[in-house]
Chain A
Amino acid sequence: MSQIDKRRIAEALILASPEPISTARLAKLIPRCTPAKARALVDELNAEYLAQGRAFEICEVSGGYQMRSHAEFAPYLQQLQNARPLRLSNAALETLAIVAYRQPLTRAEVENVRGVDAGPVMRSLLERKLIKLAGHREVPGRPMLYATTKRFLEIFGLADLDDLPTLRELEEIALEAADIGDAFAAQDVESLAAELDAGPDAPPGAEISLEDVEVVGKPH
């Protein structure tokens, strides 16, 4: 089977897959293929589409590949869909960002960062399946933990959580704001940064790793 044939099989699989399809899956379904070769096939396909000026490309989202239209066609495509596009307020985006970078975390920890009650926003994010319950923190009161969903990755076109925009270092923000050598010495910021990175109120060992948590409770 020629390389071109394999490319076409990959194309058909990605086109018709109801959800993003992983390189491992492609490698299994395409004869004599490996995940690395599957990745190469996708690159070749995208190069083809680019050369031909097609209206779509293959994107890596949520651990797999998916064909997506280019953003310039949004005005036309929006008229085709019944549902109104997902609207997210600043509060929702800020909350999502905090959950995405700090997950799994409790509602109180989100509120610590934002300085306001997070209940209604988090409930709406749960309803829209952008975040999910991710077990309890094993501390008194056993507060619920929250994490982002696969749908979150799909909506925002992220390959995985490492694909999130880099969180700027606190030092950087402080230095940008302050003249160097100002009252607030860089080393103060460093120690603060270390303190903050340790996470609020999280006793060591209480963290549940993301791999082994999934929903065990019911949404309230």
Chain B
Amino acid sequence: MTASVPESDPVALATESLVTYSVRLPVFEGPLDLLLHLIRINEVEITDIPIARIGEQYLEYLRLMGELDLEVVGEYLVMASTLAWIKSRMLLPAERVGEDGEEVDPRAELIARLLEYQRFKEVAAELGERKRLGRDVFAAHAAGLEAPAESEREIDVELFDLVEAYRRALAASRESDARPHEIEAEEITVRERMLEIMTVLEPRASIDFDVLLREEPHRPYTRLLVVVTFLAILELTRLAAIRIYQGLDDRGVPDGPIHLRRAIDPGDTAWIDQIPESM
């Protein structure tokens, strides 16, 4: 959250140099971060915050933000009102009483949030200090080798195998169609389904044909969906956007589920332009 000043504006530049002269405003990640900072510089305990003092300093900071034309975002204002509320509660006799009959500290919820935030700040700092790939450490890997997924080698999937998988999926969809509560049939085009499949394949390299159909429990597993999915897979294969694999057993015989593997880079969308208009 820094005041960005266009370099061409001499007035703004002058103002900024004045501002940097008069105050130095640290940048906070949000109201909780600011509160933790105030707690630290006041050398008070998170678990026993002097709400009046901290609240006052908190508002002072918001005023400074305003003077600097920094946007005081809503979250900061919400926290300001929370602090005001807690302060007023502290002045009144206890109203909220816990299960054990003891008074509930009006600060308890805020304290819990601060502790929770503090602990994630700590691990975030630890993560930040870890040796990072591409910055601190670099990995050896051979260009040109493309690893097929575990226990998988590329083979030409026989059309028969595909049809068999298709038949199984259709049979399963028939069972599903028979279920009385699923009545809404969703219209979906082959083109849409192709885009969906590639989206599923975006974060990972491959997926089981069967799993692809079961991926979306919220969508009725209908015959239409199976047919459209099958056509979409064939079309994607034709456009070389995916490849179809099947595992081999110990004797080298194709066995197990059929996998779809992304054959292009995740961001590559050139194939979309090649989908026939009719799809």
Chain A interface (Cβ within 8 Å of chain B)?
A: 15-19, 21-22, 24-25, 28, 56, 59, 61, 66-71, 73-74, 77-78, 81, 83, 85-86, 88, 90-91, 93-94, 96-98, 100-101, 113-117, 129, 132, 136, 142, 149, 154-157, 164-165, 167-168, 170, 173-174, 177-179, 182-184, 188-189, 192, 195-196, 214-219
Residues of A within 8 A of B216 (CB): 216
B112 interfacial contact with A, CB 8 Å: yes
Within the complex, the shortest CB–CB distance from A113 to chain B, in Å, comes to: 6
| A77-B138 contact given A115-B79, A167-B123, CB 8 Å threshold | yes
**Closest Cβ neighbor of B201 among chain A residues:** A215
B210 interfacial contact with A, CB 8 Å: no
Interface of A is mostly: mixed
Q: Are B141 and A16 in contact (CB under 8 A)?
A: yes
Residues of A within 8 A of B32 (CB): 114-115
When chains A and B are docked, how far (Å) is the Cα of A83 from the Cα of B132? 14
One of B46, B123, B133, B142 near A155 (C-beta < 8 A)? B133
Within the complex, the shortest CB–CB distance from A12 to chain B, in Å, comes to: 10
B268 interfacial contact with A, CB 8 Å: no
When chains A and B are docked, how far (Å) is the Cα of A90 from the Cα of B125? 8
Q: Are B123 and A189 in contact (CB under 8 A)?
A: no
B145 interfacial contact with A, CB 8 Å: yes
Q: Are B127 and A69 in contact (CB under 8 A)?
A: no
| A115-B31 contact given A154-B133, A184-B48, CB 8 Å threshold | yes
Q: Are A25 and B75 in contact (CB under 8 A)?
A: no
When chains A and B are docked, how far (Å) is the Cα of A166 from the Cα of B232? 45
Q: Are B127 and A156 in contact (CB under 8 A)?
A: yes
When chains A and B are docked, how far (Å) is the Cα of A77 from the Cα of B119? 34
B residues 150-178 near A (Cβ < 8 Å) are 150-151
When chains A and B are docked, how far (Å) is the Cα of A183 from the Cα of B90? 14
**Closest Cβ neighbor of A68 among chain B residues:** B137
One of B33, B46, B202 near A174 (C-beta < 8 A)? B46
Query: What 5 pairs across the A-B complex have the smallest Cβ distances?
Result: A116-B30, A184-B47, A85-B135, A67-B140, A16-B142
* Sample of 4 further A-B pairs with CB below 8 A, known A114-B32, A165-B126, A184-B47: A59-B137, A74-B138, A168-B119, A214-B207
One of B117, B130, B199 near A218 (C-beta < 8 A)? B199
Q: Are A184 and B111 in contact (CB under 8 A)?
A: yes
Q: Are A97 and B120 in contact (CB under 8 A)?
A: yes
Residues of B within 8 A of A66 (CB): 139-141
One of A16, A117, A183 near B47 (C-beta < 8 A)? A183
Residues of A within 8 A of B121 (CB): 94
Within the complex, the shortest CB–CB distance from B199 to chain A, in Å, comes to: 5
B residues 101-122 near A (Cβ < 8 Å) are 105, 108, 111-113, 115-122
Within the complex, the shortest CB–CB distance from A135 to chain B, in Å, comes to: 9
When chains A and B are docked, how far (Å) is the Cα of A132 from the Cα of B119? 23
Within the complex, the shortest CB–CB distance from A42 to chain B, in Å, comes to: 14
Residues of A within 8 A of B123 (CB): 97, 101, 164-165, 167
When chains A and B are docked, how far (Å) is the Cα of A44 from the Cα of B134? 26
Within the complex, the shortest CB–CB distance from A189 to chain B, in Å, comes to: 7
Residues of A within 8 A of B266 (CB): 129
